Amino acid sequence: MARISESTVRRLSHYYRVLEEVHAEGKAMISSHRLAEREGVTSAQVRKDLSYFGSFGRRGLGYKVEHLRKELRSILGLDQRWRVALVGAGHIGSALLAYRGFAAQGFDVVAIYDRDPARIGQKIGGLVVQDAAAIPGAAALAIDIGVIATPLKAAQEVADALVAAGVRGILNFAPRKLFVPAGVTLRTVDMTMELESLSFALHQTRARRRRAGAAG
The contact set with its own copies (CB under 8 A) reads 4, 6, 9-10, 12-14, 16-17, 39-40, 75-78, 80, 82, 91-92, 94-96, 98-99, 101-102, 105-107, 144-145, 168-169, 171, 175-177, 179, 183, 185, 187, 189-205
Taking the complex as a whole, the smallest distance from the CB of residue 44 to its own copies amounts, in Å, to: 18
Taking the complex as a whole, the smallest distance from the CB of residue 96 to DNA amounts, in Å, to: 28
| 102 binding partner (options DNA, its own copies, none; Cβ < 5 to 8 Å by kind) | its own copies
Instruction: Give me the residues that bind DNA (CB under 7 A), please.
Output: 3, 5-8, 31-33, 41-45, 47-48, 50-51, 55-63
Phi, psi of 85, rounded to the nearest 5 degrees: -110, 130
Kindly report the length of the chain: 216
CB 68 within 8 A of CB 51: no
In single-letter form, the type of residue at position 216 comes to G
Instruction: Give every strand in the sheet of 62-64, ordered side by side.
Output: 29-30, 62-64, 57-58
Q: Which is nearer to its own copies, 29 or 184 (CB)?
A: 184
| 142 binding partner (options DNA, its own copies, none; Cβ < 5 to 8 Å by kind) | none
Q: Which is nearer to its own copies, 61 or 95 (CB)?
A: 95
Q: Which is nearer to its own copies, 48 or 177 (CB)?
A: 177
Q: Which is nearer to DNA, 8 or 156 (CB)?
A: 8
| 122 binding partner (options DNA, its own copies, none; Cβ < 5 to 8 Å by kind) | none
Taking the complex as a whole, the smallest distance from the CB of residue 141 to DNA amounts, in Å, to: 34
Q: Which is nearer to its own copies, 57 or 93 (CB)?
A: 93
| 31 binding partner (options its own copies, DNA, none; Cβ < 5 to 8 Å by kind) | DNA
